[in-house]
């Protein structure tokens, strides 16, 4: 419920730099200006875009967006052409035309890539992700949110960046991946605080509260929901307040604090009624019915149950419909009786016709049944073949990068490739061997899977390629299979997120799991990548850069990120680092090392 609302909010966050809100009065006044004779210039284009964004009717908004696109093409003005396609996409999404909306967004993306405008590019990635999210295609949604985040990190558009991070977290929340959702929400919250974006802070606090509520962490849930509600009350945004109050009611109901649960549900209903929030009026009545029924107050529960149904569909209307149905049924019965009387009089004449008709219908039905079974069998077989093909493709993508997997399917083998600059990350749990000696094998695998699953999500977030795990060691690399300029920066950010996961696990360890400590080492240099073996083949990398990264991890300390001089030179302007001095490294002699603060 709140997920769909926050998607709408983030469309407002990211869609347009000028942040023109829908305002029909403004749109109508601007239309009066545009009807005056004028030449096609930048002022005319600005009027078109402002009308399109202010117009509350999405069909009319799309019409003005189309006019803007045509005229901006004539003037070769890429900025307004981009905004035209972006608003055309927004208008189609608002109408539910997701395919057309997505097509318009990709046109906007093509313009942003040609003009090398990173802010436009990052914003339209976010809009594309929103469409996939609404379509419940969460894999593509997360992919495009991460593209938006990676692009906007290199710009000064903090509001669009924080909104994209928030939306990605919201998508993880909707999939019940609560740990991942919290990682994104916490980063979005830091940026909202830095830019003092009150709406963003309120929704972020509320959604963090919903995550904690879903995890059963009621105290943390209440703290965050209350903080979000307080900000929303100051802003005057009441729909989410009503939603969050219903969540608060759920929390206290699970705590068996009946009085407070009722209080929050009643407050939610009061706000919903006061501001005519249709969905929430229904939800609040239903919640009050459940709470009073659970408490044994059946009279009050019945009253709320009736109110709930009155609002959803009037009881009087239902009764009227039923009476009408009964009248129609009586009429049909009388008509049938009349038909029976007529049939009795003519049964001798009609008997042959009836029997012949019955046989014809029976044979037609039998033929239709066999055709249906045949088509169903063909369809089911096709679905099984498609499903198995999808399973094979997904399995291959779990083993190899997408481009490498495509090459393997096309050529039957993969050519080795040299990369001039790749950043390699090694992690290792301290004293894991001693810890595992006294651990049940199932618990050992569960513990490793818990950490490595979170690490995999972090790698996806920062566009880092997981290479392999060796026991309790985790190895990954940035800058391959697709080379990138900021692979060193992304790798350090991924390492910082790993440290944050370890800290959060120390503070709130899952039941039955002992928290572990970790060391991280990072090095940048050339490598060779390829696929080895013909059975149980694996994507791997080789080179001195890999060995040095391993030495960086060995010489690191618990909870710290130890980087080599080559990595330091690439990230020193992005991160605060502490020089540790020179250390003797096996087979390499003395090497300079740095801690990322």
Condensed to tens digits (0 to 9), the pLDDT of residues 48-60 reads 777 777 776 778 7
Most confident of 299-308, 361-370, 446-455, 561-570: 561-570
Give residue 570's Cα distance to chain centre: 31
DSSP state of 16: -
Q: Which fold has domain 414-596?
A: Alpha-Beta Plaits (3.30.70)
Q: Is the peptide bond before 597 cis (omega within 30 degrees of 0)?
A: no
Class of the CATH domain delimited by 1-190: mainly alpha
Residue 575 CA to residue 9 CA, distance in Å, equals 32
pLDDT in tens, 381-433: 667 666 666 665 565 555 666 666 666 666 566 777 899 999 999 999 887 77
Q: Residue 473 forms beta bridges with which residues?
A: 428, 470
pLDDT for 13 equals 42
CB neighbours of 475 closer than 8 A, spacing ≥ 6? Answer: 424, 425, 426, 427, 466, 467, 468, 469, 546
1-190 and 414-596 in the same fold: no
pLDDT for 363 equals 73
Distances (CA, A) of 303 to 113, 289, 453: 59, 8, 48
Q: Is 136 left (phi over 0), alpha (psi -120 to 50) or beta?
A: left
Q: Let me know if 154 is exposed, middle or buried by CB neighbors in 10 A (0-12, 13-18, 19+).
A: middle
pLDDT over 90 at 576, yes or no: yes
Residue 343 CA to residue 335 CA, distance in Å, equals 12
The CATH number that domain 197-312 falls under is: 1.25.40.10
pLDDT for 522 equals 96
The predicted model gives 200-222 an average pLDDT of 88
Q: How confident is the model at residue 306 (pLDDT cuts 50, 70, 90)?
A: confident
pLDDT for 422 equals 95
Q: Residue 521 forms beta bridges with which residues?
A: 426, 562
Structure tokens at 116: 């090398």
Q: How confident is the model at residue 39 (pLDDT cuts 50, 70, 90)?
A: low
Structure tokens at 558: 């618990």
Q: Is 519 left (phi over 0), alpha (psi -120 to 50) or beta?
A: beta
Residue 496 CA to residue 366 CA, distance in Å, equals 67
Q: Residue 147 forms beta bridges with which residues?
A: none
Please count the other Cβ atoms lying within 10 Å of the Cβ belonging to residue 325.
10
CB neighbours of 271 closer than 8 A, spacing ≥ 6? Answer: 238, 241, 242, 245, 277, 280
Residue 591 CA to residue 301 CA, distance in Å, equals 74
Q: Residue 577 forms beta bridges with which residues?
A: 596
Q: Residue 476 forms beta bridges with which residues?
A: 425, 466
Distances (CA, A) of 561 to 255, 370, 558, 572, 577: 41, 67, 9, 14, 10
pLDDT in tens, 101-115: 889 999 989 988 988
3-state class percentages of the chain: helix first, strand second, coil last, to nearest 5: 70, 10, 20
Structure tokens at 286: 């239903």
Residue 414 CA to residue 398 CA, distance in Å, equals 16
Q: How confident is the model at residue 332 (pLDDT cuts 50, 70, 90)?
A: very low
* DSSP letters spanning 339-392: HHHHHHHHHHHHHHHHHHHHHHHHHHHHHHHHHHHHHHHHHHHHHHHHHHHHHH
pLDDT for 208 equals 92
CB neighbours of 102 closer than 8 A, spacing ≥ 6? Answer: 89, 128, 131
Residue 153 CA to residue 155 CA, distance in Å, equals 6
Distances (CA, A) of 323 to 307, 309, 315, 330, 336: 22, 18, 12, 11, 20
Choice between 357 and 488, residue whose per-residue pLDDT is larger: 488
Burial 482-504 (b: 16+ CB within 10 A, else e): eebebbbbbbbbbbbbbbebbeb
The upper half-sphere exposure of residue 466, i.e. CA atoms within 13 Å in the direction of its Cβ, equals: 20
Q: Is the peptide bond before 481 cis (omega within 30 degrees of 0)?
A: yes
Q: Let me know if 54 is exposed, middle or buried by CB neighbors in 10 A (0-12, 13-18, 19+).
A: buried
Residue 459 CA to residue 527 CA, distance in Å, equals 19
Angle between helices 78-95 and 58-75 (to 10 degrees): 160
Structure tokens at 352: 């042959």
Q: Residue 285 forms beta bridges with which residues?
A: none
Domain ranges of the chain: 1-190, 197-312, 414-596
pLDDT over 80 at 335, yes or no: no
- Locate tokens 């399917």: which residue? 409
pLDDT in tens, 521-542: 999 999 998 887 666 667 788 8
The predicted model gives 438-463 an average pLDDT of 85
Strand 589-596 relative to strand 538-542, pairing: unpaired
CB 197 within 8 A of CB 162: yes
Structure tokens at 315: 């009881």
Residue 424 CA to residue 382 CA, distance in Å, equals 43
């Amino acid at each position: 419920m709140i997920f769909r609302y926050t998607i709408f909010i983030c469309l407002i966050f990211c869609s347009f730099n000028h942040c023109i809100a829908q305002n029909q009065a403004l749109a109508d006044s601007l239309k009066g200006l545009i009807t005056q004779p004028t030449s096609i210039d930048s002022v005319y284009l600005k009027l078109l875009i402002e009308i399109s964004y202010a117009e509350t009717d999405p069909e009319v908004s799309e019409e003005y967006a189309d006019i803007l696109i045509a005229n901006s093409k004539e003037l070769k003005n890429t900025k307004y052409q981009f905004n035209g396609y972006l608003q055309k996409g927004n208008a189609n999404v608002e109408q539910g035309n997701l395919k057309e909306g997505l097509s318009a967004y990709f046109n906007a993306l093509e313009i942003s890539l040609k003009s090398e405008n990173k802010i436009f590019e990052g914003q339209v990635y976010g809009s594309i992700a929103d469409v996939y999210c609404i379509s419940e295609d969460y894999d593509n949604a997360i992919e495009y949110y991460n593209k938006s985040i990676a692009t906007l990190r290199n710009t000064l558009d903090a509001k669009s960046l924080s909104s994209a991070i928030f939306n990605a977290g919201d998508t993880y929340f909707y999939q019940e991946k609560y740990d991942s959702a919290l990682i994104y929400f916490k980063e979005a919250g830091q940026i909202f605080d830095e830019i003092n974006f009150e709406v963003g802070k309120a929704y972020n606090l509320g959604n963090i509260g919903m995550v904690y509520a879903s995890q059963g962490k009621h105290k943390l849930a209440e703290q965050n929901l209350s903080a979000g509600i307080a900000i929303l009350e100051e802003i005057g945004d009441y729909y989410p307040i009503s939603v969050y109050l219903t969540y608060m009611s759920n929390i206290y109901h699970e705590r068996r604090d009946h009085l407070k649960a009722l209080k929050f549900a009643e407050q939610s209903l009061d706000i919903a009624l006061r501001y005519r929030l249709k969905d929430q009026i229904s939800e609040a009545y239903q919640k009050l019915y459940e709470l009073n029924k659970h408490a044994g107050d059946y009279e009050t529960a019945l009253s709320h149950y009736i109110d709930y149904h009155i609002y959803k569909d009037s009881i009087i209307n239902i009764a009227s419909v039923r009476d009408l149905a009964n009248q129609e049924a009586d009429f049909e019965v009388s008509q049938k009786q009349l038909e029976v009387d007529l049939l009795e009089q003519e049964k001798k004449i009609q008997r042959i016709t009836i029997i012949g008709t019955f046989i014809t219908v029976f044979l037609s039905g039998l033929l239709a049944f066999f055709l249906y079974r045949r088509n169903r069998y063909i369809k089911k077989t096709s679905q099984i073949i498609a499903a198995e093909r999808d399973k094979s493709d997904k399995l291959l993508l779990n083993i190899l990068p997408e481009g490498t997997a495509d090459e393997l399917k096309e050529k039957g083998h993969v050519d080795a490739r040299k990369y001039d600059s790749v950043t390699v990350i090694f992690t290792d749990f301290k004293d894991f061997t001693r810890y595992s000696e006294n651990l049940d094998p199932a618990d050992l695998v569960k513990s490793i899977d818990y950490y490595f699953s979170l690490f995999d999500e972090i790698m996806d977030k920062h566009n880092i390629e997981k290479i392999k795990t060796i026991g309790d060691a985790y190895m990954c690399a940035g800058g391959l299979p697709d080379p990138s300029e900021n692979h060193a920066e992304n790798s350090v950010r991924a390492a910082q997120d790993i440290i944050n996961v370890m800290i959060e696990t120390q503070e709130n360890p899952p039941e039955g799991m002992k928290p572990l400590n970790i060391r991280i080492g990072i090095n940048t240099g050339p490598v060779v990548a390829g696929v080895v073996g013909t059975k149980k083949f694996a994507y791997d990398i080789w080179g001195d850069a890999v060995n040095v990264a391993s030495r960086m991890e060995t010489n690191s300390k618990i909870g710290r990120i130890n980087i080599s001089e080559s990595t330091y030179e690439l990230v020193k302007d992005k991160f605060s680092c502490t020089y540790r001095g020179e250390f003797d490294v096996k087979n390499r002699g003395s090497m300079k090392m740095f801690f990322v603060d």
